[in-house]
Structure 1
């Protein structure tokens, strides 16, 4: 069956993977983004490019018109002065447009831990959007509760390069799930293709293995052939470093609230009744191909 899919943040890490795969499978894809030039590769593959702001309800309504399903991402912005409010506002735009256009199905990219309001930072902001979407009637909604992206490690790169160690605000021994963006995109893709969910449901994507920052430092050391220690950064130092790098204080504080949640609670998985799937890409592959070359770039400079 040939369907029409709306992909928000279509030039992003997960959206691009999903859009390309849906086009390859013969479906119609409406690719949403802010930059026509960045959408161009998808348009050349056959997607219909929709250029606009995800916070613009008329724009979102137009993109949802007659669609069979949508992949919803709230990108959030480093420059948001009130990140949580802006994040929730975009979720409300999605909900209102879905209701107005009788959109049949939605896969929302959420995060592990969104089931529990004790978990703060970006976990709470995703929970806000889940609550808004769950109020919709007649729309089948799947919340894909993704783990930390492997690419999130790049947040720690500047401080780590300066110290020649893995410097992180997380407790080095706090456990967490992590998956590569391709695994997260693939998990969403499979549910969009199947559309096998009804009502409001959620599924967790767990990492291939349970990780800690200490384990990651050990793996990094093995790959690099030298010792790379792990050091805990002070919360306030990390916030100030992010502000100095040009990010808003609100964003920098929220991301540290997220790290604090991992440090305090460890794995944020829901109770065992929660449906789950497992990522397949080893963290070692990402460290070898992406993180270590970036980490070593300081030495070459």
Structure 2
């Protein structure tokens, strides 16, 4: 049976893939986006689009009213002077829209590490959002706790090309779960379409296995013909100044960097791995099918 499904974040790496999957399955998909020009491909596939912002409670409420399910998330705001206050504001708006609309099934984009509420940077807000959504009455909520996105390595292509290194502020030798966003999208889309969850639940999505940043970098190096491509743990202050120079607020940057530097603490390895949390796309698959095309295009 085809469903009426609302998607927030349809221009993002996960939301866009969820939308495409559901549209190709024949569901009625409504996208709430700020820039309608960015979802032209999805409109051609049959999506209904509404120009709106995640802070517009009336737009969200009206969209949720006739929906069987909705995909929600906590988007970054790189200009926020107080990141946690911004996150709490968005969570409050989402909850008000859910309660006012009467929608019964919510798939919430969360993250591994959201069992903690301090010391994990940005994820402190996703953890708090989980708790607040769990307090909703008569609403079924599924939290997708995703591993570190493999797509994050696309952001350092410029560094690889210009400096001949790959690097972030994270420790290079601490293995964590890493996942391709297409695997996350497939799982989220299935839950949105089948409504196969009751009450409050967590579905962790952890990729095929744990990888270190150095191992990931080595796989990239082999693929691009630079077998000795090194991974370098970048100085926090240097990276911070780069972000600030790009117009990010200091509080957002501090939260972002805390998330990266805290990886070695093990907060990303809390979730137990089993068949339900393990997905198929390996780093080798990702590098060959996604990273290389981006690398060659840049």
Q: Is the 8 A contact 1:19 1:29 kept in 2?
A: yes
What aligned pairs does 1:122-201 form with structure 2 within 5 A after superposition?
A: 122-201=122-201
Q: Is the 8 A contact 1:173 1:213 kept in 2?
A: yes
Q: Does 1:209 align with 2:209?
A: yes
Partner of 1:247: 248
Offset at residue 224 of structure 1 (A): 2.9
- The separation in 1 between residues aligned to 2:228 and 2:296, in whole angstroms, is 13
Unpaired runs of 5+ residues, structure 1, are none
Give the aligned CA root-mean-square deviation in angstroms: 2.2
Q: Is the 8 A contact 2:113 2:267 kept in 1?
A: no
Q: What secondary structure sits across from 1:287 in the alignment?
A: helix
Tell me: CA distance 1:212–1:294, structure 2 relative to 1, closer, same or farther (3 Å). Answer: same
Q: Is the 8 A contact 1:119 1:261 kept in 2?
A: yes
Tell me: CA distance 1:227–1:276, structure 2 relative to 1, closer, same or farther (3 Å). Answer: same
Partner of 1:53: 53
Q: Is the 8 A contact 1:76 1:86 kept in 2?
A: no
- The separation in 1 between residues aligned to 2:289 and 2:142, in whole angstroms, is 32
Q: What secondary structure sits across from 1:204 in the alignment?
A: strand
Partner of 2:32: 32
Unpaired runs of 5+ residues, structure 2, are none
What aligned pairs does 1:258-273 form with structure 2 within 5 A after superposition?
A: 258-265=259-266, 267-270=268-271
- The separation in 2 between residues aligned to 1:142 and 1:158, in whole angstroms, is 36
Q: Is the 8 A contact 1:206 1:276 kept in 2?
A: no
Q: What secondary structure sits across from 2:133 in the alignment?
A: helix
- The separation in 1 between residues aligned to 2:50 and 2:262, in whole angstroms, is 36
Q: What secondary structure sits across from 2:277 in the alignment?
A: strand
Partner of 2:78: 78
Tell me: CA distance 1:259–1:278, structure 2 relative to 1, closer, same or farther (3 Å). Answer: same
TM-score, normalised with respect to structure 2: 0.92
Q: What secondary structure sits across from 1:173 in the alignment?
A: coil
Offset at residue 107 of structure 1 (A): 0.3
Q: Deviations over 1:31-73 (max 9, x none)?
A: 1110121233322322211111111111111111121110112
Tell me: CA distance 1:154–1:269, structure 2 relative to 1, closer, same or farther (3 Å). Answer: same
The alignment of Structure 1 onto Structure 2 pairs a total of residues equal to 297
